[in-house]
Amino acid sequence: MIEVKNLQKSFGSKLAVDGISFTVKKGEVLGFLGPNGAGKSTTMRMVTGFLPATEGTISIGGSDVEADEIAAKSKIGYLPESAPLYSDMTVEAFLRFSAEMRGVPKGEIKDAVDKAIATTFLEKVRHQSIETLSKGFRHRTCFAQSIIHDPEVLILDEPTDGLDPNQKHEVRQLIKRMGKTKAIIFSTHILEEVEASCTRAVIIDRGKIIADGTPDQLKNKSKNAGSVVLRLNGVEKSVLTKEIEKLSEVKSTDPVTSLYGEEVALRVFPAKGKSEKLVSALSKVVAEKGGDLKELKMEQGRLDELFREITKSDNEE
Amino acid sequence: MEAFAVLLKDFAIPVLIVSAVFIVILQLLPREVRTIFKRELTSYFTSPIAYVLFVVFLLVSNGLTFFYLGILESGEASLYMPYFQYLPWYLVLIAPAVGMRLWSEEQRQGTLELLLTMPLSPWHGILGKFLAAAVVLFGMLVLSFPIVWTINYLGDPDNGVILSGFIATFFVSLCFLAVTSVISAMTRSQLVALLVSVFICLTLWLIGLPPIADFIMNITGPFEFLKPILQFFYSLGMMPHFTELAKGVLNIRDLVFFASFIVVCLIATSVVLRVKRA
């Protein structure tokens, strides 16, 4: 559905997007992660045809965004980052306008508007002037605009920005639901959002894709994924560390600051291919030393950890 | 009562014909142009801007003519001297005020990003917006009818000449509007768009003043090298074309001048929009 090849964009001498390639098929929801200024919005603006690409090609459902601009654009629904709206219109008038512009047939406009209003919970403000809407309603009005023509491709730049937790949840569910029949790209800063609604995610930093995979794959890439944290009483820390490090299942250990004073807390990394046996080996050692085990937890790995690890150099500059 | 019948025949019917032709043309244009036209026109009248401009224009143009320029004492059965010759001076300000929001407001609100990612060519937007603003200006001129009524009541003027005065005025205001379209595509600030457009329109108008034209034609001395440049600007000046048309001399050359001036400005608008995006 969406095919992006070697996309580049430079503003003057600054390279904002540096050779990004990816594809999104029907039924996929691709999450765009990355620090501010990484090139997420710029990439989306090129995919939607708002900004011309410096290099590379973008094809939407087989139509090239530059050569076959109108055909490509008619397949896309787009929610820009700032959720821009014509503030002098009412919600309904604005949605009618969008539907007409998007080529929804005259007889179907009313239904399309009703459906979009229902989907984005705008019934209450339907006849209200956009000027007077709160941020959440404005955002949803712009979201409604993006789905009004039931597009095959949805590009959503921070779709949950400015929403309260309940609305965020609704929108995530909505994206997940729509993702079954469409190809969706959405960008976000909120990592749990990626886990909640993406089938795949890419992390972009300084214009390049630096990680690509399902949320689970990405989590497994984080440094602490698969490591075991134990908290216990009654054993000297140095003794325990020594014993544990002798185990063939263990690669290394890392002290963890305990929140509970006297306790010993330790993070243990498994040796390659031994992660499954790690927990039982550890509990054996603890039992032998007579420790009073409070917690033993295997880490799933966290996206925010991976995110921080691989985009860290940015913050250090 | 007789004057009223003359007015109907000489003005109301042409206005109706023009409106009907316009509506037909609008139906023939692509759906996108119509939709944008409708939205723009509605937004003029849902905000106070159109009403304010209407009142200001009518008060100034009609009021000044009645009270200051003394149409009633002039005894002239033509409107050129007391009325039409001054209209473009007001429109130098009014037309940019009508057009300043066309593209700058889209940029300020960020809606340009919505508009340009919809399946339409920038042409649809440029044309739809221009036509909507043109209708507002047309409305202003139509609402100037009291002055025509008065002059018909007082005497027996050549209404054909008056009509061509309105046509000339309308074309000049469309040229000013087209300039404003280009400038408003360059900036997100309506105020900047207004000021720069007024400056350019005023220059294009002033350069046709006979003393200035004479000065340009007879330039000598160290600044003679500027002559070709000034002559080029003079050739863009609207006053000579306006004067001919407003006096009732219908000349194809003048109409072609106005039409091509507008077309070039609209093309320039599309170039500015494209350059801004890249």
Residue B72 binned pLDDT confidence (cut-offs 50, 70, 90): low
% of chain B exceeding 90 in pLDDT: 54
Dihedral angle of Cα B235, B237, B241, B242, to the nearest 10 degrees: 180
Is the predicted pLDDT of residue A317 greater than 50, yes or no?
no
Sorted by where each begins, the domain ranges of chain A are 2-221, 228-299
C-alpha to C-alpha distance for A283 and A291, rounded to whole angstroms: 10
- Cβ atoms of B174 and B258 within 8 Å: the answer is yes
Where in chain A does DSSP place strands (E)? 2-11, 14-24, 29-33, 55-60, 63-64, 76-79, 153-157, 183-187, 200-205, 208-213, 228-233, 250-255, 264-270, 292-298
Mean pLDDT of A74-89: 93
Q: Which of A87-101, A115-129, B153-167, B250-264 has the lowest mean pLDDT?
A: B153-167
Residue A309 binned pLDDT confidence (cut-offs 50, 70, 90): confident
Query: Which residues share a beta bridge with A101?
Result: none
Is the predicted pLDDT of residue B74 greater than 80, yes or no?
no
Mean pLDDT taken over chain A? 86
What pLDDT score does A242 carry?
81
The pairing of beta strand A29-33 with beta strand A200-205: parallel
Those residues whose C-beta lies under 8 Å from the C-beta of residue A278, and which sit 6 or more positions away, are: A228, A249, A250, A268, A270, A298
Mean pLDDT of A258-287: 77
C-alpha to C-alpha distance for B173 and B87, rounded to whole angstroms: 9
When comparing pLDDT for B251 and A29, which is higher?
A29
- Cβ atoms of B77 and B158 within 8 Å: the answer is yes
Mark yes or no for CB contact B113/A97 under 8 Å. Answer: no
What pLDDT score does B70 carry?
62
ipTM for this model:
0.87
Question: What are the start-end ranges of the H helices in chain B?
Answer: 2-7, 13-28, 31-46, 49-58, 71-74, 87-99, 101-109, 111-116, 122-142, 145-154, 159-186, 190-206, 210-217, 227-236, 239-246, 252-277
Among chain A, residues having any CB pair with chain B shorter than 8 Å are: 45, 48-52, 69-71, 73-74, 76, 78, 80, 82, 84-89, 93, 97-98, 100-103, 142, 145
Mean pLDDT taken over chain B? 88
- Its pTM stands at 0.86
Nearest C-alpha neighbor of A91 from the set A102, A81, A103, A99: A99
Measured between beta carbons, the chain A residues lying within 8 angstroms of B43 are 86, 88-89
Choose, out of A47, A66, A101, the residue to mutate when testing the contact with B (most B CBs < 10 Å): A101
Mean pLDDT of A236-261: 76
Is the predicted pLDDT of residue A273 greater than 80, yes or no?
no
% of chain A exceeding 90 in pLDDT: 39
- CATH architecture of the domain formed by A2-221: 3-Layer(aba) Sandwich (3.40)
Is the predicted pLDDT of residue A243 greater than 90, yes or no?
no
Residue A111: other Cβ atoms inside 10 A: 11
User: What is the tens place of the pLDDT at every residue in A172-220?
Assistant: 888 988 899 999 999 987 777 888 888 998 988 888 888 888 877 777 7
C-alpha to C-alpha distance for A26 and B215, rounded to whole angstroms: 70
Q: Please, what is the Cα angle at B55 between B47 and B203, to 5 degrees?
A: 95
Measured between beta carbons, the chain B residues lying within 8 angstroms of A142 are 114
Measured between beta carbons, the chain B residues lying within 8 angstroms of A76 are 117
What pLDDT score does A316 carry?
47
User: What is the tens place of the pLDDT at every residue in B228-261?
Assistant: 888 888 888 888 888 888 888 888 999 999 999 9
- The hierarchical CATH code for the domain A228-299 is 3.30.70.1340
B173, two tokens: 């205001």
Mean pLDDT of B191-197: 96
What pLDDT score does A25 carry?
92
